[in-house]
Amino acid sequence: MAKRLHCKFDIGHTAHLLFSFASRIVLSNARVAAKPCPMKVLVLGSGGREHAIVWKLRQSPRVTKLYCAPGNGGIAADAECVAVDLKSLDSLVQLANRLSPDVTVVGPELPLTLGVVDEFQRRGWPVFGPTRAAAQLESSKSFAKEFMQRHRIPTAKYSVCVNQEEVLEALKLFHTPVVVKADGLAAGKGVVIAQTKDDVQRAAEDMLSGKMLGEAGLRVVLEECLEGEELSFLVMSDGERVVPLVAAQDHKRVFDNDQGPNTGGMGAYSTDQMVDAQMRDWLVTHIARPVVAGMRAEGAEYKGILYCGIMMTARGPMVLEFNCRFGDPETQPIIMRMESDLLEGIEASIEGRVSEGDFRWTHDPAVCVVMASGGYPGGFEAGKLISGIDEAERIYGVKVFHAGTNRRDGAYYTSGGRVLGVTARGKDLPDAVERAYDAVMKIRFDGMHYRKDIAARGLKHLRAG
């Protein structure tokens, strides 16, 4: 006779085991989910801005491979530089197709205006930056002015002209001085502050003729000349929300005391004192958010960095211009102050969750002094041997970002108008300025020149305070 087996079934004990087992699975999955996903990143560009971006991305524990196209001599120490024609959309697409980056960061404005973001998005490739339609805020001054007028964003009064007859007619509406701007991209050099009406006509004629700036000047914008201090206010957008970065101030004129012609930027600095919390919120509420909401309403969702060039006037903050990417050289001191992971912020923008991004900043100020080739912003000679960079970077808190260099036979040589962005972080603004200029004094190349008054306004405010 078969024996009947009797099993005692302890429901409580079994439930405990099942719960314990399920918990281990959940915790295991959570650990897998939390484990940083390795990333291969491509940065497009070759200037000081791109070097700062690359340098910061290199610090991310998730970046396992970093490319920069085409890069420069200094960037090559932090990333693999690969050849590409930034003026050719086909070249950019072919490069990304070959490298298969997990994310592409667009540095300069030209690829944005060509539509590189549109092409990458069409192929399902993650890319950081605005579409061609959204980038019109930078590529066309007339579009930007008309957009601001439609959305009631504070800016200077203006007139758009396509010939000298329209310039003469528009001049009746302005008092001198008048700002004359080329409508298109001009690498920061398409702005003339004309002191007389004759000067306005001459500047407009030079631009409209195409002799000065080519197609960029075939339309001109006349603007009232605003008085006050300039502010570079950058935010990161995901197409709906915005998060502000720390503010900076650029130095556009080539010589001390804001003398001489405009350049791409001769230096910049960033401190907490530039914008208090109340003003930061005002700029977000009345400028940054309305821009992003306006672009969305007009069918051109804006993702990436929105750079708002602001004049702090007696009438309140007013927009001078927009850039649709990180500024140069403002990026250098801003990045020096960033303590969080830049890659995480970029991903939050691309994925539509920028408000969840972890943005942390040091209270330490930072200063960038641009060292330029002789003759810049006009004609200049390249190929000058550079010495002293290693010495400069031995100074605590200093990083030398390369803008126009190449490297051969173990040495650096000049290859552009703006050569280096010597950047320092200090415990306060005087300390950061001193470190930056101490580093500058270590560096030598034939014909070099630089402004000696970067952050002078900030120092003056400190003394007055």
The label of the residue with tokens 């004629």 reads 205
User: What confidence tens digit (pLDDT) does each residue in 24-76 have?
Assistant: 333 334 333 444 688 999 999 999 999 999 999 999 999 999 999 999 999 99
Cα separation, 267 vs 271, in Å, equals 14
Domains, the chain, with CATH or none = 41-129 (3.40.50.20), 157-224 (3.30.1490.20), 229-464 (3.30.470.20)
- pLDDT at site 436: 98
Residue pair 448/403 in contact by the 8 Å Cβ criterion = no
Three-state secondary structure call for residue 104: strand
Nearest to 95 by CA among 75, 73, 62, 119: 119
Per-residue pLDDT at 432 exceeds 70: yes
- Residues 6 or more apart from 351 whose CB is under 8 A from it? 238
Long-range contacts of 270-274 (CB under 8 A, 24+ apart): 270/246, 270/330, 270/333, 270/334, 270/336, 270/337, 270/365, 270/366, 271/365, 271/429, 271/458, 272/246, 272/363, 272/365, 273/429, 273/458, 273/461, 273/462, 274/231, 274/247, 274/248, 274/249, 274/458
User: What confidence tens digit (pLDDT) does each residue in 272-319 have?
Assistant: 999 999 999 999 999 999 999 999 999 999 999 999 999 999 999 999
pLDDT category at 4 given cuts 50, 70, 90 is very low
User: What confidence tens digit (pLDDT) does each residue in 222-272 have?
Assistant: 999 999 999 999 999 999 999 999 999 999 999 999 999 889 999 999 999
The label of the residue with tokens 């952050």 reads 455
pTM of this structure: 0.89
pLDDT category at 330 given cuts 50, 70, 90 is very high
Lowest mean pLDDT across 354-368, 374-388, 398-412: 354-368
Average pLDDT of the chain? 91
Instruction: Give the CA count within 13 Å in the CB-facing half-sphere of 15.
Output: 3
Cα separation, 325 vs 107, in Å, equals 7
User: What confidence tens digit (pLDDT) does each residue in 189-222 have?
Assistant: 688 899 999 999 999 998 988 766 666 667 899 9
Cα separation, 203 vs 197, in Å, equals 10
Per-residue pLDDT at 397 exceeds 60: yes
